Amino acid sequence: MRLLRAIGFFHGSTFLFSSIVGAGIFVSPKGILQYTSLNIPISLSIWVICALLSVMHALCIAEMGTTFPVSAAPYYFMKRSLGASIAFLKLWLTLFAYPFGLGTQSLLIASFLIQPFYAGCPAPELAKKCLALAILWSLGILNARGVTTVAWFSTISSLIKISVLCFISLTGVVLLVTGKKEAVSRFENSLDAEVPDASQIAEAILQGSYAYIGSSLLLNISGEVKDPVKTIPKSLISGISIVTVLYVLTNVSYLTVLSPQEIISSDFAAATWMDRVFPSIQWIISLAISFSVLSNTACAILSAPRIFYSAGQERQLPFIFSMLNSYHCPVVGVTKIIILSSVVIMLLKLINLIKYLMLSSLVLSEVSIIALLKLRYQEPHLHRPYKVWLPFLFGSMSFNLFLFVATMINTPTIELIYQAIFLLSGLLYYWLHSHLNQYSGFFDNLTCYLQLIFNVSPPEDNDDIFMQ
């Protein structure tokens, strides 16, 4: 019993595409335009900058996944380089970041599915929440059937996503080329717009980075990737490049049909765009968008339990999390993330939630790169099949630091205190967990009961994985 290496280049690329393209392209345009003072050229440049930062960071962490091709490779790498307490902080942030993200996506899917039945008025909140919970638990059951089932679901959904984005992009390009006067004048006058300051640009990059946040999925499932040395870098570069082109063209299409003011006044730019261009078939596009975000949510549910799985093997979470069912899936971790996401399905304001998720991501990215540099210094002779160019490491660190500092300048002091308390509570929980491990008799009995309930068993020894 062990995780199966069933993901090749094709499924790896579709996984990457499915995990990146989700709620971001339908939500982030509002935040980017808002923080760039409705400046169209700068807002489009932000999408390209976010893609370059994403590629740079992805190549940096790809070294982790190829050096240690195990589940949750960044977490394992951080534990080996910086120690157990720092690695636990990554796990601590993951415990909360993933449920918030999954809750956001589930409510977004529910909104798209239910809104066509309430034309001209907002859908009831209770109906959206009930549908979001049903979607979340259905995807949890799908994930419990193993990575191969999710891979085929991801492949089908990727084709639908590409079709939807290509449809939106080509429609906008045709309208622009055929000379729609309002759109042409909007782009011609865009250079006269107000130029945002550095802190506003940093906030806009945070909003845009949310649309690329799924690029680390392959690293979390690298223990299930065939030939990770070749597959991971190739999938990252090809996948993010295709996504960038589609994102920029989609935003051009939004701006061709809608004014910047209309985009920031809408929660979902794609729905408003469709209502303006093809109101008679809005329900078809709503269904297609919902299905595309659905696969993004499925990939996120796939990713998080692998981190719990690795933490269970390292004894930073109860050992039950490292056990697998008959489909070679860490089903206990899947159940945990679904329950946590159900609890937080009542979200804060979406644009603020994106900010907090991205700040946590920036901290984790910075610490991961520090761990990479530290291990290079500590173990220079460690076999590294793929070694990222050193300027990429320092470039990624510098951008992360700039974004974090520039964002903190505009953040109220009380929010900084809350974030510091949250991190310190993680260290307190880690100390309590280490202390309670001394009294493991009760937890051993509980593990046995849970093992029978979930029908799971411990994996075989994976030490030979580094020889593959």
Integer Cα distance of 30 and 261 in angstroms: 9
15 has pLDDT over 70: yes
308 has pLDDT over 90: no
Phi-psi region of 83 (alpha: psi -120 to 50; beta: other; left: phi over 0): left
Integer Cα distance of 320 and 322 in angstroms: 5
Distance of CA 415 to the CA centre of its chain: 23
3-class DSSP assignment, residue 428: helix
Q: What is the pTM of this model?
A: 0.77
DSSP 8-state assignment for residue 382: S
Q: What is residue 37's predicted lDDT score, i.e. its pLDDT?
A: 82
Concatenate the DSSP letters of all residues of 49-77 into one string: HHHHHHHHHHHHHHHHHHHS-STTHHHHH
Place of tokens 């550095």: 198
Backbone angles phi, psi at 457, to 5 degrees: -140, 155
| One-letter amino acid for residue 458 of the chain | P
State pLDDT tens for residues 351-360: 455 556 666 6
List of residues 6+ apart from 439 with CB closer than 8 A: none
Write the CA distances from 440 to 192, 314, 341, integer angstroms: 67, 15, 28
State pLDDT tens for residues 212-227: 877 777 788 888 888 8
Domains of the chain with bracketed CATH:
9-467 (1.20.1740.10)
120 has pLDDT over 50: yes
102 has pLDDT over 60: yes
334 — pLDDT class (breaks 50, 70, 90): very high
Integer Cα distance of 76 and 61 in angstroms: 12
Q: What is residue 111's predicted lDDT score, i.e. its pLDDT?
A: 78
End-to-end C-alpha distance for the chain, whole angstroms: 17
Of 54 and 187, the structure prediction assigns the larger pLDDT to 54
Integer Cα distance of 32 and 147 in angstroms: 34
Write the CA distances from 437 to 234, 255, 441, 444, integer angstroms: 42, 57, 9, 10
User: What is the torsional sign of CA 149, 153, 154, 155?
Assistant: positive
Kindly state the helix (H) or strand (E) to which residue 425 belongs, with its residue range: helix 413-436
Integer Cα distance of 46 and 208 in angstroms: 7
3-class DSSP assignment, residue 324: strand
State pLDDT tens for residues 146-199: 888 888 888 888 888 888 888 888 888 888 777 666 666 666 666 666 778 877
- Output the six-digit token pair for 294: 């659905």
Integer Cα distance of 371 and 205 in angstroms: 24
Q: Count the alpha carbons within 13 Å of 435 in the hemisphere toward its beta carbon.
A: 6
Concatenate the DSSP letters of all residues of 204-261 into one string: HHHHHHGGGGGGGHHHHTGGGBSSHHHHHHHHHHHHHHHHHHHHHHHHHHHHHHS-HH
3-class DSSP assignment, residue 379: coil
Nearest to 317 by CA among 303, 302, 325, 305: 305
332 — pLDDT class (breaks 50, 70, 90): very high
Kindly state the helix (H) or strand (E) to which residue 380 belongs, with its residue range: none
442 — pLDDT class (breaks 50, 70, 90): low
283 has pLDDT over 50: yes
Buried b (16+ CB within 10 A) or exposed e, 377-402: eeeeeeebebebeeebbebbbebbee
Integer Cα distance of 454 and 327 in angstroms: 12
Please, what is the average pLDDT of the chain?
79
443 — pLDDT class (breaks 50, 70, 90): low
